[in-house]
Structure 1
Amino acid sequence: MTDPLLEHLVAVLSGVGGIETVVLGGSRSRGDALPSSDYDLGLYFRDQRPIDVGGLRRAMEPLIDPGSEAIITAIGEWGPWIVGGGWLTIGGQAVDLLYRNVDAVSATIDRAVAGTITVDYQPGHPHGFISTIWLAEVHHCQPLHDPAGAVAGLKCRLQPYPRRLALALVDRFQWEIGFAATGAAKAIARDDRSYIAGSIFRGLACAAQVICAINGRYVMNEKGALALAGGLPLAPPNLGARIDALWDRFAERDHAGAIERLVMIERDVAGLVDDWRRTQDQFPFR
């Protein structure tokens, strides 16, 4: 770690009661951050030793830029999946904190490995909060303070990509691509552009989940998922350009043309899935 701000944040956060592990997530973890990119820090705790939120607020208060908006929530204030955390500005940089319960994440991994996933309504996630997001967070993060190896242990359980998870994601999302296209087509007569756009988005988001699953890739969220999917070995050809063309058609009010492009993507995804199902044993999934 060579980032002075990050080093200071980790030193402060690791001293707060209940914080067992501090991890770096987001673009700074992936290595594609801009100088202005947020610092996304995951704070992991245990059921029996929750974060001392009051202590966290006291520890962070001297670091927060004067006059800036600062939010540090209670555990659970942002719901069961986002949980809680903070939005801060420190040294002119946006610093986002997210609480994560090690025990809850571990149980979610157990269920996912066994082929059970959930999708819940969540503001900020227009396709819903898919439980595998927690797996993606663990897989992609960089542990900065993990003395008991809590997150390191979770990471080990995610490789190789679980076969039952891939099958569950395909079964959950593949059918909806065509279903979304059919629903969008029925709205053309009413010229309900919002419904058509929403249905197309859902179809594309489902396609991204399926493509990433058959490639054994964890998806963090909807943002960037299609770009990720389009660059994978098992993907429809020229996926990015085809999606651009789809939305161009929509912008021109050629709704039928936009939907037809979604249908063609669905057909390509179906062909990829069929091939993948026949050759699964060649892939390093457990």
Structure 2
Amino acid sequence: MNSTIEAMSLQLTAVRGVRSVALGGSRARGAHRADSDWDLGVYYRGPLDVEALAALAAEVTGAPVDVAGPGGWGPWVDGGAWLSVDGEPVDWILRDLDRVEAVWADCRAGRYETGTQPGHPLGFWSPAYAGEVALCRVLADADGALTALRAQTHEYPERLRRALIDASWEADLSVAAARKSVGSGDVLHVSLCLARAFGVLVQSLHAYERAWCLNEKGALRTASSSSAAPADFAAEVAATLRALDADAVERAGALVAEVRARIG
């Protein structure tokens, strides 16, 4: 399958607008299972020939494929396609290279943003763009731009680290909001508030370790390995989110306070 993916990457860079292709996800990190997807980041500049992408997708799969153009999957994940190649799942995920470079400039300056994005229940955190580049394996790079950017992202920006650690204040606010609703039995609001509080802490803990957090999947497990995380962090989060009662909210508040004290 590796040779198929490499050949596909070269075919993708022949499409108008596509500049680079990178292998991402668990396969790029060597943490994949036999049934893991092949995640290909398709980096483009300017107008993108979506029809040519659809034609290529049909060629490599042997059947028509619905390709979502820029913005088709939302404001941050952008677009792409889900393919089945030789019985294996291959995902094309579009990335606007100009926007990725702009986000990286923001990261170096200690700026980030979060946005609503389907598939990301805690929102899309913009530093994920830089993290994807840092952790990817470049397969094709027409002008070397992605390779150069990847070399820059190997050093986690200290200003971004400080900004994401400071963002932990929001976890306190979310717990306070849950405290106001738990007495009325508003389980949905309480669960959303506590999940948001823990999601913010997870981002802060990753930043504390200068580790990139790409999305919510597996993020609690990774954050739990931080030197600043309490020994029972993941277990406490799980227990709190199962209970969702007044005692759970107070336990969540204590956990937030402990983590914030540890990360300074």
Q: Distance in 1 between matches of 2:206 and 2:57?
A: 38
Q: Distance in 2 between matches of 1:24 and 1:229?
A: 24
1:58 aligns to what? 55
Q: Which amino acid aligns with 2:254?
A: M
Aligned identity (percent) is: 33
List runs of 5+ in structure 2 lacking aligned partners. Answer: none
Moved more, 88-97 or 203-212: 88-97
Pick from 191, 196, 199 the counterpart of residue 197 of structure 1: 191
Give the aligned CA root-mean-square deviation in angstroms: 1.7
Q: Distance in 2 between matches of 1:123 and 1:221?
A: 12
Pick from 114, 121, 125 the counterpart of residue 126 of structure 1: 121
Moved more, 238-247 or 216-225: 238-247
- 1:247 CA drift (Å): 3.0
* Secondary structure of the structure 1 residue equivalent to 2:22: strand
Q: Which amino acid aligns with 1:132?
A: P
- 1:193 CA drift (Å): 0.8
Q: Distance in 2 between matches of 1:65 and 1:3?
A: 19
Q: Distance in 1 between matches of 2:258 and 2:162?
A: 18
Equivalent pair of 1:71/1:88 in contact (CA under 8 Å)? no
In the TM superposition, structure 1's runs of 4+ consecutive aligned residues that sit over 4 Å from their partners are none
List runs of 5+ in structure 1 lacking aligned partners. Answer: 275-286
Aligned pairs, number: 264
Q: Distance in 2 between matches of 1:26 and 1:239?
A: 25
- 1:135 CA drift (Å): 1.0
1:40 aligns to what? 39
1:283 aligns to what? none
Equivalent pair of 1:73/1:85 in contact (CA under 8 Å)? yes
Matches within 5 A, 1:149-160: 149-160=144-155
* Secondary structure of the structure 1 residue equivalent to 2:18: coil
Q: C-alpha deviations, 1:138-188, integer Å up to 9, x for none? A: 1111101124221121122223211110111122x2111111111111111
Q: C-alpha deviations, 1:100-120, integer Å up to 9, x for none? A: 122211111101110111111
Q: Which amino acid aligns with 2:48?
A: I
Moved more, 107-116 or 78-87: 78-87
Equivalent pair of 2:103/2:126 in contact (CA under 8 Å)? yes
Equivalent pair of 1:65/1:92 in contact (CA under 8 Å)? no
1:81 aligns to what? 76
1:263 aligns to what? 253
Matches within 5 A, 1:110-189: 110-171=105-166, 173-189=167-183
Tell whether 2:203 aligns with 1:215. no
Equivalent pair of 2:109/2:159 in contact (CA under 8 Å)? yes
Q: Distance in 2 between matches of 1:236 and 1:152?
A: 37
- 1:62 CA drift (Å): 2.0
Matches within 5 A, 1:201-280: 201-250=195-244, 255-274=245-264
Equivalent pair of 1:235/1:272 in contact (CA under 8 Å)? yes
Equivalent pair of 1:65/1:91 in contact (CA under 8 Å)? no
Name the TM-score, length of structure 1 as normaliser: 0.86
Name the TM-score, length of structure 2 as normaliser: 0.93
Q: Distance in 2 between matches of 1:62 and 1:199?
A: 46
* Secondary structure of the structure 1 residue equivalent to 2:153: coil
Equivalent pair of 1:108/1:131 in contact (CA under 8 Å)? yes
